[in-house]
Every structure is written in C-alpha cells, then in structure tokens.
Amino acid sequence: MRKNFLFACAIVPCALILFCTCTKDVGYPALQPSSTPPGQVDTCKTDIKFAKHIEPILKTYCALPTGGCHVNNASWGDFTTYGAFSTRSSLAIQRIKNNEMPPDYTNGPKTLTACDLDKLEAWVKDGSQNN
C-alpha cells in the first residue's frame, strides 16, 4: 500500500511534468547545401554593386514609374537614389522577409526572387557601398 501511495504521489506527477513539457520541435528547415558548385562564384552573393545589381531590383519592385510606392521623395522612402535607399536598406530587407513588401497593390511583381534577396543582403553585409 505504501509503495502504491509513493508511486502515485511522486513518480506519476514527475512523469506527467516531463511529458507535458516536451514539445514538437517546429523550427526553421535545415539549411540546404549551396547549389553553387565548388570553385564557382555565387553571382547572387558575390561582388554586388549598387548600380549594376541593386538599382535594377529597386526599379523592378519598389520605385516603379507608375504605381510604385518608393518614388518622388515619398515619406516611406524614395528608393530612386542611392542615398535615400542606403539609409533604409536593412529595414527594407526585413519587410521583404516578413512578406510586407512589395505590397499587392503595386503594378510590379509581388515577390522578389531568392537571388534578388540574396543580392540585397550581400550588398548590405558588404557595407551598402555606392558602387
């Protein structure tokens, strides 16, 4: 009788606590190995230039001639110039990753390609140079 009482009062609650605190590990998917073959340069992450790589991305997704949001000294950021975009580039990347940008109501594409996002991130990581 005493063993049953000890088991019910001590062991069972400990086991319940253990099982109740376990959760299914739902997190980020495992990183995939680079698709760039060994010895080759990843053109989406290496030697990114503002004029050659970043400015076309901005003109495609953000600063469209018609229906674009980031034009004409807009209060939320004029992305038609290096100076205006470089100060907000990190925030822009976060908003893209959170699926907040580009918005559905623009006339341009609604989703950046993975390569375009890699280019933006690499450019910021390398110091957001006006090159």
Q: Residues 5-43: pLDDT tens digits?
A: 555 555 655 554 545 554 544 443 443 444 666 667 789
Instruction: Report if residue 58 sits inside a domain.
Output: yes
Q: Residues 100-117: pLDDT tens digits?
A: 888 888 778 889 999 999
Q: In which domain, by residue range, is 75 found? A: 50-125
Q: Is 25 exposed, middle or buried (0-12, 13-18, 19+ CB in 10 A)?
A: exposed
Residue 55, token pair as written in the block:
């400015």
Domain count along the chain: 1
Q: Is 38 exposed, middle or buried (0-12, 13-18, 19+ CB in 10 A)?
A: exposed
Question: Tokens 């590990």 map to which residue?
Answer: 25
Asked if pLDDT for residue 90 goes beyond 70, the answer is yes
Instruction: Report if residue 95 sits inside a domain.
Output: yes
Question: Tokens 């890699």 map to which residue?
Answer: 118
Instruction: Report if residue 37 sits inside a domain.
Output: no
pLDDT of amino acid 18:
47
CA-CA distance, 122 to 100, in Å (whole number)? 20
Region of 2 on the Ramachandran plot (φ > 0 left; ψ -120 to 50 alpha; else beta) = alpha
Q: Residues 42-75: pLDDT tens digits?
A: 899 999 999 999 999 999 888 877 766 888 767 6
pLDDT of amino acid 36:
63
